[in-house]
Structure 1
Amino acid sequence: MNTSSLSPKDFIPGEDTMSMLTEYARVLVIGAGGLGCEILKDIALSGFKDIEVIDLDTIDITNLNRQFLFRKENVGEYKAEVAARFIQSRVLGCKVKAHTQPIQDFDEDFYSSFHIIIAGLDNIEARRWLNSMLHSMVKFDENGEILPETVRPLIDGGTEGFKGQARLIIPFKTACFECTMKMVTPQQRFPLCTIAETPRLPEHCITYAQIIEWEKAFPEKKLDKDSPEDMNWVYQKALDRANHYGIEGVTYMKTIGVVKNVIPAIASTNALISAACVAEALKVATYLSNPMDNYFMYMGQTGIHTATIQIEKDHECLVCSKKPINLTVSRNSKLREMIDLLKENKKYNMISPAISGMLGPLYMPKPPVLEEKHRFKLDLTFAELIDKNYFRDGDGLIVTDPSFNSSLTLIVNLV
């Protein structure tokens, strides 16, 4: 029996708990970059023996200063495969299976086969999709109560220079990732007129070379951001432009950072956030301590400051509130304007919404043959859509988007 005042009453120390940790618990780590390498190392050394890792990136020479599971001879190989081999060679008895496909390629059965998912992702779209997937897996009984065996906790970590965060998301119990989309810092963008006419920053010169000069020089070729030859071409063009305007600061590494939207990474921040994530995994797996409630943040820019706060659920969240989206739209507004609202409003942040109604599809962005077929509707007003029998006032619309694993219901209130 547990008599410690420091752990919950459900924690029972002993061989059964250890065997559950080492023989039964299955952990999925998503991401094998700077944070992912730390998570894989920590999770393996904490006693978890059955681990799988997903990462579709390959190793670049610039990764080696902080992604310590990789060596120079591994450049060009898949991060997930090299990381899996390294962990298995250093932690005896640990089994790590690597996957190199996008997370969207895996189905519900795959994710439900794990007990804990830890994400060290570096992009918002993948995190939103993963959050949506884990919520869509939850089943309810006839009384609307959650079936606990269908819940998979998500531990999400992220770093940005001297800042970092770790959070525990328990579907339909805590605030989910979508609940906090308003807190996400938007990606920095520069006006095209500034880039083309009045550059003042190294970023302006690099973006000009990437967008405008590359298109002029190679109209039929897409820029390969992982190609040293392509990146060096962009760097040289950006440097020429910077010299012309007397702008300093254009370097090859700066060019890579701007083109790939790379956020500066610091090894110590990755180590600290990884420790916080894996500590939560241990708590969830063994009940050895009360779990985080529910958001840990670290700020090390001018010292060391940490805080744990409880983020409240958004009762109108697109994922965990299970409520439809209500939009008030003018009868004279165009379908294009409503789609732009779904993409630009921070509450929705959609990427490429597809919309269908009771009378059939309104707009399908993919594949191209369908997009071309429905494109003309974008410039029709809702009054015209009704007149032409493409839409009925009062009908709900079904919206799908790459950000979400499942569809959403959209209620359009015409005024």
Structure 2
Amino acid sequence: MAATMQPEAVRPSMNGESDFSRAKWAYLDSFLSRPGAYSDPEMFVPGEIPVKSISESAQILVIGAGGLGCEILKNLALSGFRNIHVIDMDTIDVSNLNRQFLFRAKDVGKPKASVAAEFVMKRVPGCNITPFVGKIQDKDEAYYKQFNLVICGLDSIEARRWINATLIDMVDDEDPDSLKPLIDGGTEGFKGQSRVILPTMTSCIECQLDMHAPRAAVPLCTLATIPRQPQHCIEWAHIIKWEEERKDIQLDTDEPEHITWLYQKALSRAEEFGIQGVTYSMTQGVVKNIIPAIASTNAIIAASCCNEAFKLISSSAPSLGMPGTNNYMQYTGDAGVYTFTFEHQKKDDCPVCGNLPKDLTVDPEQTLEELIESFAARPESQLKKPTLKTEGKSLYFPYPPSLEEQTRPNLKRKMKDLLSNGEQLAVSDPAYPISFRYNVSFS
């Protein structure tokens, strides 16, 4: 009992709480009122300051309210964080209920962010969670500047890359508060990882992109001309036909009617080119990029992410993100209950946090179309709708249709006819707020 009793000075009344209601946070006060084995005396001052940092000052943004996001929101609330925002654009599907424990059958069809926020606030009085139903791209830089750190529980590489580039672009060397740590968690089956990124200071998501297996993606020019696989037909229906025929309707991947429409268009496309294998379930899997998820893996990775958030805000222990230390934790539950950490190095030629363009060796006899196809599979880019241009001319624009038609003849031209040896090539994609720069050399 004595270990949990704290002086009044470190158990302040917050948001009008009585001493009795504050007693439920005695374990938190106990932890923050004394130094630990790994705490740095120059950074961690036990007592009221770290308690208030957690419960009053910290503003946390959680991106994603799915399998990982539900666990993260719960952990943050039970760790004493009071000011939390959550972003998610999805609605609740029946298939979510087996692992996304903040949702019930009556919630199917409702926005994940709103339902998750309401559930946690009801169970943890005093915790204020502000939901936003929409895309992370809908918010501007001023929105992200209000937070102390960002935690991602995403299943999309594209979204990770976007928020990574945005937070790096926000950093102002003359304003230390402009640096917002990014804690990223990810799971797939029995495997998972968490990492801490200090924008411009440590390795970023773009530096680590080659650790992710390239998604089965094909550039737009291939989808629009000659599909070779059933997935190509589905992506064609998803990316091209929906924009052409239903651009005024927001695609909802949880809406059966929308998936059925895409399936029928993809099936018709497949029959036209003699391709077998297009099914409704495959359509759903390709469009939603469905990956296997296990509740226990989500719980482990979310715990790691929230542990890092607690350490960063309170300074009570060294974080994974400290420059020059291990910044990447990996969990391999398929081989046993194993975790290990290592340092992922920052790359000088990273297109986001680095300053140098990458070197790109191409065959001068290669066509532009073949080069574009290679960008979809290239681990460091994984681009689906790349636009290519040099300082003096535009090589290919996949959109709008007028520019695509003008630049389409270049697809069949050889690289030696479009570029000079040593010329710089700029490659962009609508999914990312950056351009990839390459110094081209002929093999």
Secondary structure of the corresponding residue to residue 296 of structure 1 = strand
Contact 1:136 1:405 (C-alpha < 8 Å) held by counterparts: no
CA distance in 1, matches of 2:355, 2:152: 24
Match for residue 402 of structure 1 among 430, 435, 438: 430
Are 1:60 and 2:88 counterparts? no
| 1:324 positional shift | 0.8
Which residue in 2 is equivalent to 1:378? 411
Which residue in 2 is equivalent to 1:197? none
Q: Structure 1 residues 324, 98: closer, same or farther in 2, change over 3 A? A: same
Mapping for residues 10-89 of structure 1, pairs under 5 Å:
10-89=43-122
Q: Structure 1 residues 358, 300: closer, same or farther in 2, change over 3 A? A: closer
Which residue in 1 is equivalent to 2:309? 281
Letter aligned with residue 130 of structure 2:
K
Letter aligned with residue 96 of structure 1:
I
Which residue in 1 is equivalent to 2:171? 138
Which residue in 2 is equivalent to 1:109? 142
Q: Structure 1 residues 257, 283: closer, same or farther in 2, change over 3 A? A: same
Contact 2:36 2:317 (C-alpha < 8 Å) held by counterparts: no
Secondary structure of the corresponding residue to residue 20 of structure 1 = helix
Contact 1:163 1:298 (C-alpha < 8 Å) held by counterparts: yes
| 1:11 positional shift | 0.7
Which residue in 1 is equivalent to 2:323? none
| 1:168 positional shift | 0.8
Which residue in 1 is equivalent to 2:439? 411
Contact 1:362 1:377 (C-alpha < 8 Å) held by counterparts: yes
CA RMSD of aligned residues (A): 3.6
Residues 5-26 of structure 1 show CA distances to partners (whole Å, capped at 9, x for unaligned) of: 4311211121122222222211
CA distance in 2, matches of 1:338, 1:256: 29
Residues 322-348 of structure 1 show CA distances to partners (whole Å, capped at 9, x for unaligned) of: 211222334444333333333322232
Mapping for residues 215-294 of structure 1, pairs under 5 Å:
225-228=253-256, 260-292=288-320, 293-294=326-327
Which residue in 2 is equivalent to 1:7? 39
Which residue in 1 is equivalent to 2:212? 184
- Say which is worse superposed, 1-10 or 318-327, in terms of deviation: 1-10
Letter aligned with residue 371 of structure 2:
M
CA distance in 2, matches of 1:4, 1:61: 44
Q: Structure 1 residues 397, 115: closer, same or farther in 2, change over 3 A? A: same
CA distance in 2, matches of 1:211, 1:295: 33
Q: Structure 1 residues 381, 86: closer, same or farther in 2, change over 3 A? A: same
Secondary structure of the corresponding residue to residue 320 of structure 1 = coil
CA distance in 2, matches of 1:177, 1:166: 12
Contact 2:151 2:183 (C-alpha < 8 Å) held by counterparts: yes
Residues 334-374 of structure 1 show CA distances to partners (whole Å, capped at 9, x for unaligned) of: 33333333332223222222223332433222222222222
Mapping for residues 288-367 of structure 1, pairs under 5 Å:
288-292=316-320, 293-367=326-400
Residues 137-189 of structure 1 show CA distances to partners (whole Å, capped at 9, x for unaligned) of: 22336xxxxx5322111101111122111111112322211222222134469
CA distance in 1, matches of 2:64, 2:151: 9
Which residue in 1 is equivalent to 2:131? 98
Secondary structure of the corresponding residue to residue 375 of structure 1 = helix
| 1:231 positional shift | 6.4
Residues 267-321 of structure 1 show CA distances to partners (whole Å, capped at 9, x for unaligned) of: 1111111111000001111101010221112122243111122222234322222
Contact 1:133 1:404 (C-alpha < 8 Å) held by counterparts: no
In structure 1, stretches of 5+ residues that fail to align are: 142-146, 190-203, 239-250, 386-390
Contact 1:351 1:402 (C-alpha < 8 Å) held by counterparts: no
Which residue in 1 is equivalent to 2:12? none
Contact 2:312 2:319 (C-alpha < 8 Å) held by counterparts: yes
The total of aligned residue pairs comes to 376
CA distance in 1, matches of 2:417, 2:333: 56
Residues 73-122 of structure 1 show CA distances to partners (whole Å, capped at 9, x for unaligned) of: 11111101111222222222222111122212222222222111000000
CA distance in 2, matches of 1:44, 1:412: 50
Contact 2:36 2:316 (C-alpha < 8 Å) held by counterparts: no
CA distance in 1, matches of 2:340, 2:332: 9
TM-score, reference length from structure 1: 0.79
Q: Structure 1 residues 6, 208: closer, same or farther in 2, change over 3 A? A: closer
Q: Structure 1 residues 373, 396: closer, same or farther in 2, change over 3 A? A: same
Mapping for residues 124-163 of structure 1, pairs under 5 Å:
124-140=157-173, 148-163=176-191
Percent of aligned pairs sharing the same letter: 45
Contact 2:234 2:286 (C-alpha < 8 Å) held by counterparts: no
Secondary structure of the corresponding residue to residue 178 of structure 1 = coil
Contact 1:55 1:99 (C-alpha < 8 Å) held by counterparts: yes
Residues 362-410 of structure 1 show CA distances to partners (whole Å, capped at 9, x for unaligned) of: 322222222222222222334433xxxxx67655333322353222333
Secondary structure of the corresponding residue to residue 162 of structure 2 = helix
In structure 2, stretches of 5+ residues that fail to align are: 1-32, 218-228, 268-278, 321-325
Secondary structure of the corresponding residue to residue 402 of structure 2 = helix
CA distance in 1, matches of 2:134, 2:438: 31
Are 1:170 and 2:198 counterparts? yes
Contact 2:82 2:128 (C-alpha < 8 Å) held by counterparts: yes
Q: Structure 1 residues 228, 15: closer, same or farther in 2, change over 3 A? A: same
Secondary structure of the corresponding residue to residue 65 of structure 1 = coil
Which residue in 2 is equivalent to 1:193? none
- Say which is worse superposed, 220-229 or 121-130, in terms of deviation: 220-229
Which residue in 2 is equivalent to 1:245? none
Contact 1:36 1:120 (C-alpha < 8 Å) held by counterparts: yes
